[in-house]
A and B are shown apart, each in its own frame.
Chain A
C-alpha cells in the first residue's frame, strides 16, 4: 500500500494553520497514524486511528479522513512544531510510510 504525502515541504509562519495530506493507494479504512520527527530524534506519534489524538499531544494537532484520503492539521503553528511529519498505514503488511512533509519557518 503506497502512501503519497503532499506537499513534500512547506514554509509557514508562527500562528499559521498548516494542512498536510496523505493519500493511500487503496482503502485503509482508518488504519492511519501521523508522526512528527525532529532532527536527530526518533519519530513521535501524534495521531492514530486517523483522528485520535495521542495522550500528551497538544490539541492544535488534529487528523481527519478515512478510506484513501487523510489530512493532518496544525492550528496556530508554534516554534516547536517545525519538523518533518510522516503518515503511516497499519492496515496491511508490509507497513508503509509516506515520504514525509518538512515544515520550515518562513
Chain B
C-alpha cells in the first residue's frame, strides 16, 4: 500500500530556509488521480493547509504564507518537497505531507505521512 514519509532537519534557525521532502512508496507519484499536499499543525493547535503540487508541476500555495513557500516535485525519485524561506518562531510546527484523492464530486486527503516536527530556534 502507498505510504508517505517526511524527512528533513528538525531544527532550523530564524531567517533560514526550512526544507522538507516527502517520499512516496508503494505507488507512483506520476498519476493524474492525486494531488500532493503539505499541511502543518502548530503545537496544540489546529491544521493549516500549506499548498499542493500535481505530477505535472502545477502548484498552488496558501497566500497566508506570503510567497515564502515553494513546493516542488521530482518524479524520478517519487518525491515532493517543501521549502519555506525566512522562517520565524511562528513556523514551529509538525509538518505533514498528504495525498489528495481527486474525485469528480469531492476530493479528500486519504493518506498522510507520520509528520515531521520542526522547531525554529537560534
Contacts and interface: CB of A to CB of B under 8 A. Distances in A.
Interface residues of A, number: 26
Given A42-B96, A86-B46, A86-B47, A94 B62 contact: yes
B89 interface: no
A31 B109 CA distance: 12
Nearest to B49: A95
Given A42-B96, A50-B106, A90-B107, A97 B112 contact: no
A94 B106 contact: no
A9 B56 CA distance: 41
B113 A94 contact: no
Contact of A44 (B47, B49, B64, B112): B112
A97 B46 contact: yes
Nearest to A90: B107
B110 A54 contact: yes
Contacts of A97: 46-49
27 contacts: A30-B105, A30-B106, A31-B106, A35-B109, A41-B114, A42-B112, A43-B47, A43-B109, A45-B108, A48-B106, A48-B107, A48-B108, A48-B110, A49-B108, A54-B108, A54-B110, A86-B46, A88-B109, A90-B107, A93-B60, A93-B62, A94-B49, A94-B64, A97-B46, A97-B49, A98-B46, A99-B46
